[in-house]
Structure 1
Amino acid sequence: MPTSPRQLVAVLSSAAVIAAAGLAITATGATSASADSVQLLQNPGFETGNLTGWNCSSGDKVVTSPVAADSYALSGTTTSSDYAQCAQTVSVQPGATYTLTGKVQGSYVYLGDSGTGTSDTSTWTSSAGWTGLSTTFTTGASTTSVTVWVHGWYGQGTFGADALSLIGPSATGSPTPTTTPTPTPTPTPTAPADTGFQHPAYFMPLDNTPQSVSDIVSNSGEKELLLAFVLDSGSCTPAWDGDSAHTVASDTTVQADVTAVRAAGGDVSVSFGGYNGTELGATCGSSSALAAAYQKVINKYQLTRIDLDWEGDDLDANMAVRWGAIKTLEQNNPSLKVTLTIPMTTVGLPDTGKDEIRQAISTGARIDVVNIMDFDFGLTSGTETQAAETVAGDVNTQLQSLYGWDAATAWAHTSIQLMNGHTDQPSELFTQSTFNDLLAFAQSKHVAQFSYWDVNRDRACDPNTVHNWADGACSSVAQNPYDFTKIITKYTG
């Protein structure tokens, strides 16, 4: 989103679709297991009749039917907040090759490993009947234990797992596996949309003459704020607006705003990026460094949601580092919801945006909501409402292709973001009437979120002062304070 006028960025590339369900991800470069390969899992088929040897979710239990082999199997029941994982930590040899296999049934069932010291691997499938899964990894030079796991996916019902096996060299002097849980990776599938944050309004707490949070809450009713922007102030240091005088670590001002919103019964998310400044993903150098920088912000404000607003020269740039960092964050913060914000063209997603999504899928990083900036593409014909609806419809078709979703699922993972008053494109104008029309459209499609840029602009401009075309602190249209925010807050999904 802009803090000053900007130009739409769009480039062309070809489309692609995601890999078919059930594709196994196998580490490359592994040597074959040594001759003394043995079964390393304790209670691998749950034949004790219980979960001995495993560290499992409360949604997991051992059952006698259905089973894939022998008398017992694991049955996991997922919920909207729990994917019913069962994990076991096993002693291994450094620099050795191991193969993990099992039989599973159900929707979105995952088998994988973490803590290998090299590249963690995973595989998944959706199957009504028992289906075999297999993945292979090689441990790092100093790795002495790994965690293997099986789980379903949020809100996908009950899954089964049986006949699990980890084959490879035993750890010298440590043949007995332990059960200490360690963080496990979060895979790429379709998670339920974030329905607890339906109408977040962007707000710049330190720029563009911000209103007080108490005034926003009291006079607009908005209690869901998307705080913008955290950037790099140098040396991979997160700071508000990239200002070295206002690093996240030293902040008290935004922290007070966050506290006030939560005291009123609301919540916040933080947006990384924007059109101006230096985004952390451009300078942190590695996925681990970037994840650590983002984590500082998550920890500071106790966030359960973040927004990735990679614009300008950050569009589709440094994706291996960026999505690697997001995958790490999702592993370390299981309840974290991630929104990817993408500028629009007149035909929906730019090809850079499509490629970002494809690379997230390839990396194994989850995008919970795709936030479309449904403005700044330029109005060439018809009304602003018609143009915004057409672009949103184009994105829906594109998300179906990228993810293999049906239309309803694609809408449920889409956020429609508007801009009040004048946008950066002189051909565009969003009035209160336009917002109301698009509110009805969003309601009819049951989108994940209905949002806008931004609260700072939700007031009339002072006629005695010279203003920019798309001023950062006012809308340039006739209005009462918070007219646009009040419309946004009506959205209920």
Structure 2
Amino acid sequence: MRLRLRALLTALLIGPLILVGHPAWSAPLRASAYYMPLDNDPQPISSIVSGSGLRQLVLAFVLAPNGGGCTPTWDGGGLVSSDTTVKADVDALRAAGGDVATSFGGYNGVELGAACPDAASLARAYQQVIDKYALTHIDLDIEGDDLGDAAGEARRFQAVRILKQNAAAAGRGLEVSLTMPVTTIGLSDLDRAEIQRAKDNGADIDTYAVMAFDYGGPAASMAADVGKVMEDAHAQLVALRPDLSSDAVYARTGLILMNGHTDQPSELFTPATFTTLLGYASEHHLARLSFWSLNRDRSCTGNVGWVDGKCSSVTQQPFDFAKVIARFTG
């Protein structure tokens, strides 16, 4: 009776709940890759399943419309509500035994948390995406001007609290990851303030995902430097989460890499770099090992410049990087 009443009250506040069509299980996204299903020449799901070893993807990016408004779209363009292409990909991956998260935000475009006027409308927008793709995992990738926007972050975390209440009322879980850029000394002041703001607004973050690239690391010792940065971030997270043990913080930490050349000319990730960092992630039993992006997990053709969204800019076979990440089990 209480569960039904709670579900009814939540529905009245933020809209109807979809109680059918969700996966019966909610396995953590351990080994995953960011994947743009509508941009950067995406590989077919059938090729990913047969060639990469990965069965878990983080789909990027859901944003506010380019023309303004509080409605979820893919990359600021196509409405999530009318999408059929991404839905078919999700269904195909699940049929192969996999699962997905969607990532809200990214470096470009307008994140819904900056476009929606309040937490209730933002929660409705997020919930549309959760219901459309029957999600049990979502990712908040907050970068650029959105990182440090106190009002936007408060709305976002208040919405997360509502979404978790929705999921509980519907008898399922919702795993939320918070993706953050990194510095040469770990998390920035803005990252740490964002984590504290999540706590202040009652948002339970399941995974703190650290983007350990684009910070100016040295290519010659990339793996060792990423390990140092991750240890710096770990110490900061332990201080921010005194309710958790050191091991429990590791178990809530994700490591996100970037395959090949990054946007920083000093950085270079090879499959060997990934293999070394797979060892770090496995030794510390991290929550997730991921990379940006699966669309780039192939050699370039033609003159594409230093870094490209469709290839790694290093000599490789298709899915060389994904095959390393797929070995991570937690």
When the two structures are superposed, what TM-score results if normalisation uses the length of structure 1?
A: 0.60
Residue in structure 1 matched with residue 153 of structure 2 by the alignment: 319
Asked whether the 8 Å contact 2:219–2:268 carries over to 1, the reply is: no
Unaligned runs of 5+ in 2: 11-25
Residue 265, structure 1, aligned to residue 97, structure 2: yes
| Residue of structure 2 aligned with 1:394, choices 224, 232, 251 | 232
Residue 240, structure 1, aligned to residue 68, structure 2: no
Q: Residues of 2 paired with 1:364 and 1:426: CA distance?
A: 40
Residue type of the alignment partner of 2:38: L
Residue in structure 1 matched with residue 260 of structure 2 by the alignment: 421
Residue in structure 1 matched with residue 205 of structure 2 by the alignment: 367
Residue type of the alignment partner of 2:286: V
Q: Deviations over 1:427-452 (max 9, x none)?
A: 00000110000001111010001110
| Residue of structure 1 aligned with 2:188, choices 350, 363, 369 | 350
Q: What is the Cα deviation at residue 302 of structure 1? A: 0.4
| Residue of structure 2 aligned with 1:336, choices 174, 178, 184 | 174
Q: Residues of 1 paired with 2:162 and 2:89: CA distance?
A: 28
| Map 1:241-320 → 2, pairs under 5 A | 241-243=75-77, 246-317=78-149, 318-320=152-154
Residue 482, structure 1, aligned to residue 319, structure 2: yes
Residue type of the alignment partner of 2:121: A
Pair 447,207 (structure 1): closer, same or farther in 2 beyond 3 Å: same
CA RMSD of aligned residues (A): 1.6
| Residue of structure 2 aligned with 1:458, choices 294, 297, 311 | 297
Q: What is the Cα deviation at residue 197 of structure 1? A: 1.5
Q: Residues of 2 paired with 1:270 and 1:341: CA distance?
A: 12
Pair 399,466 (structure 1): closer, same or farther in 2 beyond 3 Å: same
| Map 1:65-464 → 2, pairs under 5 A | 181-183=5-7, 196-233=28-65, 234-243=68-77, 246-317=78-149, 318-334=152-168, 335-380=173-218, 383-404=221-242, 405-462=244-301
Q: What is the Cα deviation at residue 321 of structure 1? A: 1.1
Q: Deviations over 1:374-399 (max 9, x none)?
A: 11110258600111000110111111
Q: What is the Cα deviation at residue 316 of structure 1? A: 2.4
Q: What is the Cα deviation at residue 230 of structure 1? A: 0.4
Asked whether the 8 Å contact 1:195–1:448 carries over to 2, the reply is: no
Pair 472,387 (structure 1): closer, same or farther in 2 beyond 3 Å: same
Residue type of the alignment partner of 2:208: V
Q: Residues of 1 paired with 2:292 and 2:220: CA distance?
A: 23
Which structure has the higher relative contact order (CA within 8 Å, separation 6+)? 2
Pair 379,180 (structure 1): closer, same or farther in 2 beyond 3 Å: closer
Question: SS where residue 198 of structure 1 aligns?
Answer: coil
- The structure with more helix, counted as a fraction of residues: 2
Q: Residues of 2 paired with 1:456 and 1:240: CA distance?
A: 16
Question: SS where residue 249 of structure 1 aligns?
Answer: helix
Q: What is the Cα deviation at residue 266 of structure 1? A: 0.4
Q: Would you say how many aligned residue pairs link Structure 1 and Structure 2?
A: 305
Residue type of the alignment partner of 2:5: P
Residue type of the alignment partner of 1:452: F
Residue type of the alignment partner of 1:238: P
- Greater Rg, structure 1 or structure 2? 1
Q: Residues of 1 paired with 2:321 and 2:160: CA distance?
A: 32
Q: Residues of 1 paired with 2:5 and 2:62: CA distance?
A: 33
Q: What is the Cα deviation at residue 320 of structure 1? A: 1.7
Residue in structure 2 matched with residue 45 of structure 1 by the alignment: none
Asked whether the 8 Å contact 1:231–1:279 carries over to 2, the reply is: yes
| Residue of structure 1 aligned with 2:309, choices 472, 475, 481 | 472
Question: SS where residue 289 of structure 2 aligns?
Answer: strand
